Structure 1
């Protein structure tokens, strides 16, 4: 069975470490990027089963990076979990066309629950 791959766009190394611990505990191989300007190239290289996108990721930001993915014929079916400390995270995730969102700060259980939900195709 092929190991699932998660691609995480997060510029805070401490938060990135949390994602890595949770995702690896769920059986994922984790690739990450601290910028979003090359989002399509990173997805092409990683071929992820899941993308976690931070709102404030440098260069083009999470909304635009997610929109690029969702407009792409090949990548638009990859589930994207949109994460932000912004109080408007729900509307930002809708604008981005993400599959689900998670507000920071979050608990590890909330993170794992949203990952499972987005992989199953439910949005919360």
Structure 2
């Protein structure tokens, strides 16, 4: 049996959100979780890419929609599933327009988060 844990990168400029998502995804979901408060970090990935990216729409510096567009335009990262989350009421339309694989409207239930994550990386 392999000890490999699927890796999730979570980007949000709110450290409190990152802490809660880390606990839920790691402790409950059993995933390897990396977090960042900087959107630029997502675009600076080299080599070992995550199995999934959870991306806040509104971050300081570069925002989630720009990050998603760049990820989906890059041959090395275009196949990584990206789920964008936001309290913006237009999150579904925004996510579709930038090529995100799915979206979560804030506030969301942690079970909804786990269900979406599992659908993309546990299949």
Q: CA deviation at 1:106?
A: 0.5
- Give unmatched runs, 5+ long, in structure 2: none
- Residue 50 (structure 1) aligned with residue 19 (structure 2): no
1:77 and 2:85 equivalent? no
What is the CA-CA distance between 1:45 and the residue it aligns to?
A: 5.5
Q: Work out whether residues 68 and 100 of structure 2, in 8 Å CA contact, stay in contact via their aligned partners in 1.
A: yes
Runs of 4 or more above 4 Å deviation:
none
Cα deviation for residue 46 of structure 1 reads 5.0
- Deviations along 1:70-116, one digit per CA (max 9) or x if unpaired, are 00101110111110000000011112211000000001111111112
Count of paired positions: 120
Residue 55 of structure 1 and its aligned partner are, at CA, apart by 0.3
Q: 1:45 to 1:35 in 2, by over 3 A?
A: farther
Task: Give the alignment's TM-score, normalised by structure 1.
Answer: 0.89
Residue correspondence of structure 1 range 1-124 to structure 2 within 5 A: 1=2, 2-24=4-26, 25-41=28-44, 43-44=45-46, 46-119=48-121
Inter-CA distance 45–57: structure 2 relative to 1 (3 Å threshold): farther
Structure 1 residues not aligned, in runs of 5+: none
